[in-house]
Amino acid sequence: MESSENGDKGFNGEAESGDNETHVEDSESSTLLSSSTPAEDEGGNLVQGEYRGKFQVTPAIVVHEVGIDQNGKPYKVDIDEEHGEDNSRNLDNNPLASNDELESPYSQQMELYADDLHERGKISQILNRIANYQGGVEPNISENYKSRPKTVRGTVKLGTLLGVYLPTIQNIFGVLLFIRMTWIVGMAGSIESLGIVIICCFTTFLTAISMSAIATNGVVPAGGSYFMISRALGPEFGGAVGVLFYLGTSVASSMYIIGAVEILVKFIAPVMSIFGDVTIESNAFNAYRIYGTVILLLLSLIVFVGVRFVSKFAALSLACVILSILCIYIGIFAATKDDNVRICYLGDRLLTSELAETNGVFTCSKANNTALYAKHCFNETCDDFFNEHETRVVDGIPGLASGVFHANLHNRYTEEGKIIGTDMKGNRAYGEIVADITSSFMVLLAIYFPSVTGIMAGSNRSGDLADASKSIPAGTIAAISTTSFVYFTCVLFFAGTIEGDLLRDKFGESINGGLVVAKLAWPTEWVILIGSFLSTLGAGLQSLTGAPRLLQAIASDGVIPFLNVFGVTTKRGEPFRALLLTALISELGILVANLDMVAPIITMFFLMCYGFVNMACALQTLLRTPSWRPRFKFYHWILSLLGLALCVTLMFISSWYYALVAIGIAVCIYKYIEYKGAEKEWGDGIRGLAMSAARYSLLRVQQGIPHTKNWRPQLLVLMKLEDDLSPKYPQMAAFASQLKAGKGLTLVNSVMEGKYMERYDDAQVAKQKLSKTIEQFGVKGFSDVLVSENVSVGMCHMIQNAGLGGLRHNTVMIGWPYGWRHDHNERSYKVFLDAVKNINAGQMALLAVKGINLFPSSNEKLKGTIDVWWIVHDGGMLMLLPFLLKQHKTWKHCKLRVFTVAQLEDNTIQMKKDLELFMYQLRIDAEVHVLEMSNSDISAYTYERTLMMEQRTEMLKQMKGNKKEALGHVQSIIDQSHVTPVSPTKIKLEPVQEESQGPESSTDEEKLESHQYTFTPGAAKIGSTTSNNGKAGDYLQIKPDSKFNGNLNKKPDKKNIRRMHTAVRLNEVIIEKSHEAQLVILNLPAPPKSEAAELNFMEYLEVLTEGLDRVLMVRGCGNEVITIYS
């Protein structure tokens, strides 16, 4: 309503019987309470005419005003009309809207969200459970892992060095470095040896990158690499790879045991051979089988009886490895001719020590009394080669300055039975060193590859790490870099230090059966012999410890039924049955006895495992599943695919028949699990891939609800149509496109009112326009139009039945009903609320977009912040949506800020720590804020706005009964504003501003709406009262002379006051903190259960979002949609 002068609008309370006190109270309560404090002078007295509260006090009238004294208690001040003095300072402990009177279990600040808080709990409780690994969705961990005691906060955990780096180094460095590395360098030459090392190390490096991405994509509980692979690829692939990984680990134990026995029998104590000369291959292999079986039994007994000894022995083994390598490096630079090993040649053929020595003395001579002469000559007749060539003594380790590096550049591959380094057939009887196997680049590659395995030691210890997200990538990659450097330099130093033929002497026959690399070490070869033996035993012990537990984890998961028998453990938790099977498999490897035959088998199993790790990372990256948020950022799907290609290539170039066998085993296990119908659902990438396939994939997706890790918003966008059948708010399609980033399902649908028979053609036109709209905005989805005689009923059907099979929506996006206050038809908000209720009943997520015309187009690039106001836990929707938005170029450069509200009993410092930890575990970069809502009482603004809301609702109800009479009463109320008031209250009220408000309304209902006002805090002004000429100034008063005034004088409902208080206070805080945000995302309160509260609910939402340009109100589906776990 306009006043006579300046047209300001207001709404006044009741003026009572000419008294000079203006009240906004009834007989049961005192005046309004403000959260602010009165202005005081230096003496602590109230300063006359000044007040830093919701009101300002004018000395011209007596106003009951309430402040807060120095003790924090409210008091009431009576200001005298004439003199402006304090008449009293009466304590008023029962104000109209005090916390005591309006008590609520959730405190008055959150009354609007009381239903949600009652059902889902407070944010502080949710954060506390998550921080203690009790919130969110825990993965399906086997009983073995569940039975383990949970990590207690404050327990000392391992860092990167002790937890990942050193154990990984210990697992990578193995027996092959000591007993096969020199032979590989001698056969392949330094150039091709470097190629072998680079290919193998690069493969494991790429796998480590993929593994780091997977391992840092959430909290990986105990379960190690099998857990990581199976949860990334699903039960079928996970079971197959898990079995291969188990077989590889079991066979690796046999390789380590064979290596340890070889060091013992051949190099440390050849006299222990019970079958004779160990230089004879059959004798050596038989000795390996006997001693290997004995060692296997001893190690298995240790594993079963004393697991603690295993962990202690691991430290000793690691120390031996590091000490041995250091001694080798020192020996490389300390090698001189004075303390060198000597080797004997006959022509260009390296001779065994047996012929180079006579009676234990190194002679290397053709003299008649030497062993060499006795072998080549009979009755003083010698063979031609002996006669034509002379013997010569050569330094076996001449040192770096000798120039032997150039002679060792190129390969000298040798076929089995021929003299090493030549194409001539050899004869061991003449003391010639003969190749025991045919060597080639591929063969050596297969033999060497186990030297670079063991990269998953860090991920196996994820449960013991203080920060697995940082330690696993850093420690693993650092360990691979370190070991790669050692291998790389060893190739160069061995080629530059040791004579070529001595390098090719696999078993050290030319140096009395010594270990070549041990002869190089400083200060004595026994450091390497003892160190390599102990470290190899330790590696075998680790394999025998880990493999049974891996099998027990697979069996406990229940994906392979015939393995369930191995899921049983002893009372001490030891997987005894699994240990027996592991020992049996290891024994089969020991019976092979040939290290060079066992190593390629291990190579196949580990290459298969590493290949699937790379495939998992590539698949998750290409699918862009919402749960794929690794903290490790230095990965790319191209690198993962390259790693996968390298693994497959290495398998076939190493040994194609072994590769086929490994693949065959994997396929059989996969089909077996598929045939048995694994009921496990771990949120794997294969399930996400099925969404884009045809009938088979549709049926597969339809088997059950998606796992939390695969959950992404499958959108149903409900569009309103204009009269010309074009979308009224096409920008909703653009926002849907930005949210989806081209992934998943998007349905853009609309409902037309009418009969289908009559409006079929219109529906087809509308569908074409919808299709053009989604094509214009780049939405990857489908459009449809439904005709219904009732729009709400049609939208309900659309919400229930849109989609096909597993391709169904789980999230509905709906626009805000702009101008609902000014629409003469209640359907404007009724359709919106019915849709909200139906979506809520269907347990779907809801996105209500307000200010859609201000949302950016897909070509814009915004900078600023996306602010999330997390009031109620909704399953993680509020966290997932901004993450998905930031995948699009429009929102990519916006920073994420998360605000949550602490209540009085909450520990805000702990809440902030827990929230920071939660966001860190979600792998989402966000700035975290925890705000305290002061326990302020209800303000005058809240009270007045609640009062007007209820009055408006009552008016509209009466208008439905008798529209003409009701409008007459409203007009009488408006006319009274021209009467000179007696003592108007100094409260300025402003009209409510609606978004997208059209031109001036002309209908009677719209005239009524144009006089609805909202109270603005702090807007009251000190001014003169009514002037002598009868002008009312900016103020109104209502006298109780219409039948409406009974309702106007009615005290507002207390719950409504509290709900309005929630909306007002939250809006104030959101405006203060997020007024410059590019987008504000907040919880949508629970919809009202009764129709009577629907208008009030709309008013709460209006107040909650006032002053915000872009708002996304979100209501979760009731299920967890985001998880901290991998």
- Per DSSP, 741 falls in state T
| Residue 390, pLDDT above cutoff 80 | yes
pLDDT at 490: 93
Top-ranked range on mean pLDDT: pick from 307-321, 789-803, 961-975, 1025-1039: 789-803
Confidence band for 297, pLDDT divided at 50, 70 and 90:
very high
Q: Which two tokens stand for residue 864?
A: 């600023």
Confidence band for 194, pLDDT divided at 50, 70 and 90:
very high
Q: What is the mean pLDDT of residues 722-733?
A: 89
| Share of residues in the chain with pLDDT > 70 (%) | 73
Helices 224-262, 595-623: crossing angle, 10 deg rounding: 160
**Spatial CA neighbour of 428 closest among 284, 281, 286:** 281
Strands (E), 711-775: 715-719, 746-753
- Per DSSP, 710 falls in state G
CA angle 565, 567, 573 (to 5 degrees): 130
pLDDT at 710: 67
Q: Are 197 and 439 in contact (CB under 8 A)?
A: no
3-state secondary structure of 797: helix
3-state secondary structure of 895: strand
Confidence band for 4, pLDDT divided at 50, 70 and 90:
very low
Q: Which of 10-19, 482-491, 767-776 has the lowest mean pLDDT?
A: 10-19
Q: What is the mean pLDDT of residues 535-542?
A: 86
> What is the chain's length?
1126
| Residue 866, pLDDT above cutoff 90 | yes
Q: Which two tokens stand for residue 86?
A: 């304090």
Confidence band for 274, pLDDT divided at 50, 70 and 90:
confident
Tens digits of residue pLDDT in 355-369: 888 888 888 888 888
Q: What is the mean pLDDT of residues 1071-1083?
A: 92
Q: What is the mean pLDDT of residues 235-253?
A: 85
CA angle 591, 260, 411 (to 5 degrees): 90
Q: Which residues contact 1065 (CB under 8 A, 6 or more apart)?
A: 109, 933, 936
**Spatial CA neighbour of 191 closest among 413, 416, 8, 456:** 413
Q: Report the phi/psi class of residue 7: left, alpha or beta, with left for phi > 0 and alpha for psi in -120 to 50.
A: left
pLDDT at 367: 86
- Per DSSP, 1069 falls in state H
3-state secondary structure of 538: helix
Q: Specify the residue for token string 């214009």.
A: 776
Question: How many whole angstroms separate alpha carbon 802 and alpha carbon 169?
Answer: 55
pLDDT at 292: 95
Q: What is the mean pLDDT of residues 836-852?
A: 90
| Residue 865, pLDDT above cutoff 60 | yes
How far from 301 is each of 255, 544, 574, CA to CA, in Å? 18, 10, 12
| Residue 7, pLDDT above cutoff 80 | no
The overall average pLDDT reported for the chain is 76
Q: Are 837 and 846 in contact (CB under 8 A)?
A: no
Q: Which two tokens stand for residue 383?
A: 């063979």
pLDDT at 1013: 39
> CA Rg, the chain, in Å?
41
- How far is CA 810 from its chain centroid? 21
Strands (E), 397-532: none
Per DSSP, the residues of 839-883 read HHHTT-EEEEEESGGGSPPTT----EEEEEEE-S--SSHHHHHHH
Top-ranked range on mean pLDDT: pick from 190-199, 656-665, 903-912: 190-199
Neighbours of 927 (CB within 10 A): 13
Q: What is the mean pLDDT of residues 152-175?
A: 76
Q: Which residues contact 864 (CB under 8 A, 6 or more apart)?
A: 894, 895, 1076, 1077, 1078
- Check whether the bond before 523 is cis (ω within 30° of 0): yes
Question: How many whole angstroms separate alpha carbon 47 and alpha carbon 85?
Answer: 10
| Residue 1014, pLDDT above cutoff 70 | no
Confidence band for 1049, pLDDT divided at 50, 70 and 90:
low
Q: Which two tokens stand for residue 649?
A: 């290539």
Q: Which two tokens stand for residue 810?
A: 């789980």
Q: What is the mean pLDDT of residues 690-694?
A: 47
- Burial class of 1085 by CB neighbour count within 10 A (0 to 12, 13 to 18, 19+): buried
pLDDT at 935: 58
pLDDT at 934: 66
Tens digits of residue pLDDT in 641-671: 999 999 999 999 888 888 998 888 888 888 8
Question: How many whole angstroms separate alpha carbon 158 and alpha carbon 315?
Answer: 14
Question: How many whole angstroms separate alpha carbon 1126 and alpha carbon 1115?
Answer: 25
Question: How many whole angstroms separate alpha carbon 438 and alpha carbon 418?
Answer: 9
How many helical (H) and strand (E) elements, i.e. helices and strands, does the chain have? 38, 22
pLDDT at 355: 87
Q: Are 229 and 240 in contact (CB under 8 A)?
A: no
Q: Specify the residue for token string 């011209």.
A: 60
Q: Which residues contact 312 (CB under 8 A, 6 or more apart)?
A: none
Q: What is the mean pLDDT of residues 1112-1122?
A: 82
pLDDT at 74: 46
Q: Are 720 and 827 in contact (CB under 8 A)?
A: no
Strands (E), 367-447: 377-378, 381-382, 391-395
> Across-strand partners of 749?
718, 784
Q: Are 534 and 320 in contact (CB under 8 A)?
A: yes
Question: How many whole angstroms separate alpha carbon 1108 and alpha carbon 996?
Answer: 13
pLDDT at 903: 78
Top-ranked range on mean pLDDT: pick from 287-301, 517-531, 984-998: 287-301
Q: What is the mean pLDDT of residues 883-910?
A: 89
Q: Which residue has the higher pLDDT, 628 or 1017?
A: 628
Q: Which of 96-100, 498-502, 664-668, 832-836 has the lowest mean pLDDT?
A: 96-100
Q: Which residues contact 668 (CB under 8 A, 6 or more apart)?
A: none
Confidence band for 874, pLDDT divided at 50, 70 and 90:
confident
| Residue 441, pLDDT above cutoff 80 | yes
Q: Which residue has the higher pLDDT, 110 or 754?
A: 754
Question: How many whole angstroms separate alpha carbon 114 and alpha carbon 104?
Answer: 9
- Burial class of 797 by CB neighbour count within 10 A (0 to 12, 13 to 18, 19+): middle
Q: Which residue has the higher pLDDT, 4 or 253?
A: 253
pLDDT at 858: 86
| Residue 921, pLDDT above cutoff 70 | yes
Tens digits of residue pLDDT in 487-517: 999 999 999 999 999 999 998 889 988 889 9
Q: Which two tokens stand for residue 524?
A: 């004595």
Q: Which residue has the higher pLDDT, 122 or 900?
A: 900
| Share of residues in the chain with pLDDT > 90 (%) | 25
**Spatial CA neighbour of 814 closest among 1095, 1104, 1121, 1113:** 1113
pLDDT at 742: 53
Per DSSP, the residues of 100-139 read TTT--TTTGGGGGGHHHHHHH--HHHHHHHHHTT-SS---
Q: What is the mean pLDDT of residues 691-708?
A: 60
Whether the predicted model's global pTM rises above the 0.85 cut: no
pLDDT at 998: 41
Confidence band for 203, pLDDT divided at 50, 70 and 90:
very high
> Across-strand partners of 814?
718, 848
Question: How many whole angstroms separate alpha carbon 146 and alpha carbon 249?
Answer: 24
Phi/psi of residue 681, nearest 5 degrees: -135, 110
Confidence band for 11, pLDDT divided at 50, 70 and 90:
very low
Q: Are 808 and 714 in contact (CB under 8 A)?
A: yes
- Burial class of 462 by CB neighbour count within 10 A (0 to 12, 13 to 18, 19+): buried
Sign of the dihedral defined by the CA atoms of residues 1024, 1030, 1033, 1038, in that order: positive
